[in-house]
Amino acid sequence: MRPYKHKIQYYETDKMGITHHSNYIRFMEEARTDFLEQMGWPYDKLEESGVASPVISLECKYKSPSTYADELTIEVSVEQIKGARLCIAYKMTGRDGETVCEAKSEHCFVNSAGRPIRLQRDCPELYEALKALEGK
């Protein structure tokens, strides 16, 4: 899978000129959306299938700051898919290859009524696509 690229905008920085920590969560969502599109499962297709995947937990480890005009490369990987849960890992690096942030998001799968579902049973095509990428 192709990594996602994000160029830091001026408005994403704080008074010290450093990317505000809260923006990394948005970068994760941008990268995850791109990742799913590359898999052939953009969010609109997911929703048309009656499946939603809300975030249930986040973890971010900030390693090095980024600043205005820096370009981050965000690698996304499926850490684990099991039952109704999915754990996605993110590695964000700067132009020099230095790690800026390592993060994880955990998701569950629910139907259009908001009830938990088992992806393997209720949307096997997506499950198999994610399972094929697990640990890679």
Q: What is the pLDDT of residues 31-58, one digit of tens each?
A: 999 999 999 999 999 999 999 999 999 9
At 15 the three-state DSSP class reads: coil
- For the chain, domains (ranges, CATH) are 4-133 (3.10.129.10)
- pTM exceeding 0.75: yes
Which single residue is written with the structure tokens 């992806």?
119
Predicted confidence at residue 43, as pLDDT, reads 92
Predicted confidence at residue 50, as pLDDT, reads 92
Predicted confidence at residue 136, as pLDDT, reads 86
Between strands 55-62 and 85-93, the pairing is unpaired
Cα separation of 60 and 102, whole Å?
A: 6
Cα→Cα distances 111→43, 53, 68, 84, Å? 14, 9, 40, 11
At 31 the three-state DSSP class reads: helix
What does the DSSP 8-state code read for residue 135?
Answer: T
Q: What is the pLDDT of residues 73-121, one digit of tens each?
A: 999 999 999 988 999 999 999 999 999 999 999 999 999 999 999 999 9
Q: What is the pLDDT of residues 7-21, one digit of tens each?
A: 999 999 999 999 999
Give the burial class of 66: count Cβ atoms within 10 A of its Cβ; 0-12 exposed, 13-18 middle, 19 or more buried: buried
Predicted confidence at residue 15, as pLDDT, reads 94
